[in-house]
Every structure is written in structure tokens, then in C-alpha cells.
């Protein structure tokens, strides 16, 4: 069983009410997946302000040394951590061993995320959900 970012299933749950529908991944994993969106599990609506990690990576957010801020300047760190933890719990309950996640996201990003300045500049790092999954030995693939 694998996890998949909900936006890749066609759910219009991204911050700007769009999706990143990915039929090739869905074809390859068929019915052997669950879809999760840590940002929706955090209680955020659709659409919502864009957000980025400021001062580090997802691992740093979990350590308390970086924050997640939205474009309006609101600190949404605690809610985002809660949403990522809920998504992790769903994965653990479903014996997930691999996750295909949306790249660049402050929650699902794997390998690179936006730099926290809202300038479309990328930096090395993972989102908080990816960091949690990796901490639990779950393989993460950026899409």
C-alpha cells in the first residue's frame, strides 16, 4: 500500500484550488493507495494563502528552529505540524511503506522546497510531512 498526495488524484485541494492530477502514477498503483493532504487535515480551506518554510526545512520545523508562514505573514506552524501528524497516523494505520508526494510543498516536498521568501526560489530540503515519513522509515518519492 502506498500514500499519494491528494492533489495528484485530481482533488482540487492545493492552496490555489487546483490539482496536479497524475494519471500515470494512478495507473501504476491502481487501487493500492490512499490519498492524503496534510494541509487539509490541518484544517485549512481551499483556496488559502500560499505558505513556505522560513528559516530551514521540514526537519527544522519539527525541531522548533524554523517556522511555516503564509504569504500574509501568519505563522501557521502549529496547525501544519498537526496536519502532518494526522497524515502520518493515517499512513501508519494503513501500513504504508512508500509515498508519492507533490514536490516543492512545505508539507509534501521531497529534496527541494521553496526558500521562504515567496520568490519561487527553491532550496534543498524536505517538507514536514516528508520529514515525518522518513523519520518512520517510509520511502518518499517526489513527483
Count other Cβ atoms within 10 Å, centred on residue 141. 14
Q: What's the CA gap between 74 and 30, in Å, rounded?
A: 39
Q: What is the pLDDT of residue 63?
A: 97
Query: What is the pLDDT confidence band of residue 28, given thresholds at 50, 70 and 90?
Result: confident
pLDDT of residue 26: 87
The secondary structure of 36-71 as a DSSP string is E-HHHHTT--SS---EEEESS-HHHHHHTSSEEEET
> Residue 29: its pLDDT value, please?
85
Measure the CA–CA gap between 116 and 55, rounded to whole angstroms.
Answer: 7
- Determine the average pLDDT of the residues in 20-42: 91
79-136 pLDDT, tens digit per residue, is 999 999 999 999 999 999 999 999 999 999 999 999 999 999 999 999 999 999 999 9
Q: How many residues does the chain have?
A: 143
Rounded Cα distance, 10 and 27, in Å = 13
89-115: string of b/e by CB count within 10 Å (b at 16+)?
A: ebbeeeebebbbbbbbbbbbbbebbbb
Q: Summarize pLDDT for 36-87 with one digit per residue, the tens.
A: 999 999 999 999 999 999 999 999 999 999 999 999 999 999 999 999 999 9
Question: Domain residue spans in the chain?
Answer: 2-142
Amino acid at each position: 500500500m502506498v500514500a499519494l498526495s491528494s492533489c495528484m488524484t485530481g482533488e482540487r485541494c492545493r492552496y490555489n484550488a487546483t490539482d496536479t492530477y497524475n494519471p500515470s502514477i494512478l495507473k501504476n498503483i491502481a487501487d493500492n493507495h490512499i490519498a492524503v493532504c496534510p494541509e487539509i487535515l490541518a484544517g485549512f480551506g481551499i483556496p488559502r494563502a500560499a505558505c513556505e518554510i522560513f528559516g530551514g526545512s521540514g526537519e527544522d520545523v519539527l525541531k522548533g528552529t524554523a517556522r511555516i508562514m503564509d504569504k500574509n505573514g501568519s505563522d501557521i506552524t502549529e496547525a501544519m505540524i498537526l496536519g502532518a501528524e494526522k497524515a502520518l497516523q493515517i499512513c501508519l494505520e494503513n501500513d504504508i511503506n512508500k509515498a508519492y508526494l507533490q514536490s516543492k510543498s512545505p508539507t509534501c516536498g521531497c529534496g527541494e522546497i521553496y526558500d521562504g521568501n515567496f520568490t519561487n526560489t527553491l532550496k534543498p530540503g524536505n517538507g514536514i510531512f516528508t520529514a515525518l515519513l522518513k523519520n518512520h522509515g517510509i520511502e518518499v518519492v517526489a513527483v
